[in-house]
Amino acid sequence: MYPIPDWQREIRFLGGNRDAEQALMDKYETEIRTVARTSGVDNGVIMRAQHAKMLAGFSSASFRIGSDVPEDLHVGFLKPDAKYKSEVRFSNAAGSVAASDALPDLRGVAFRVLLGNDEQIDFLMTNANRHHARDAEEAMATIVAFAVNGPFRKLRGILRLARRVGISTAFRIVRTLKAQMSVPVESIATETFYSRAPLVIGSTVVKYRLRPTVSKSSHPRAEADLSSELLSRLKSET
């Protein structure tokens, strides 16, 4: 019999079993659609529930596998020295499209690797290493809580979150997000992006990151138009 890896023994289903977790996933699907409609009031059109504003997109990027990739990661498309066409999308994390990118928010990147024969794999990251949520329930509770229209949104969001996950958990989530979102972003070219949650490759659990080749300023200031800043940067380097 194939031995079960230690990490697999630690898997726990939300709700206690596979069926209960599937019921929660169905509930989350309904909730995320509601969030998208709520954000659509501000945006003028229904968009993504999260990461609605694209800052930059590249349709002809390359994804290259290093020649020194560890042997235990030689799984599927992860072959040493392999190269794949890719698509990259940088975004603000919010569901509402803000006019200024200097407002507190996280930044995200979606890296789609095109494997051929209509196969693809997505690597999703944000510029915050630590996840504010401990599981899918806390993550969805946060998204739903702050998807509100009208006055006093932040206060109402905090109260809604506390009702769903409890006061102490809500405080931890809000404190973590506030610290992460307050970090000024001068350019998406100088940000490091992290997977936050781990994934399994073969029998190995990994986290990954997208590391910039450009260093941050010693005293970065928040840029109001990250799209224009990146375009100017790219033009000056060509």
| For the chain, domain boundaries | 50-217
The closest alpha carbon to 194, from 101, 113, 140, 131, belongs to: 131
One-letter amino acid for residue 6 of the chain: D
> What whole-number distance in Å separates Cα of residue 50 and Cα of residue 75?
31
> In this predicted structure, what is the pLDDT of residue 18?
86
Question: Which pairs with CB-CB distance under 8 Å and at least 24 residues apart come from 212-219?
Answer: 214/187, 214/189, 214/190, 215/190, 216/186, 216/190, 217/186, 217/190
CA neighbours closer than 13 Å in the CB half-sphere of residue 169: 15
Q: Give the C-alpha distances (Å, rounded to integers) separating 177 from 91, 158, 167.
A: 17, 12, 15
Q: Is 220 helix (H, G, I), strand (E, B) or coil?
A: coil
> In this predicted structure, what is the pLDDT of residue 1?
47
What b/e string do you get for 145-159 counting C-beta neighbours within 10 Å, with b at 16 or more? bbbbeeeeeeeebbe
How many other C-beta atoms can be found within 10 angstroms of the C-beta atom of residue 105? 22
Q: The pTM is what? A: 0.88
Q: Which helix (H) or strand (E) holds 193?
A: strand 193-194
Which regions in the chain score pLDDT beneath 50? 1
Cβ contact 238:222 at 8 Å:
no
> What whole-number distance in Å separates Cα of residue 10 and Cα of residue 135?
14
Q: Which CATH architecture has domain 50-217?
A: Beta Barrel (2.40)
> In this predicted structure, what is the pLDDT of residue 16?
85
The closest alpha carbon to 187, from 220, 141, 148, 138, belongs to: 220
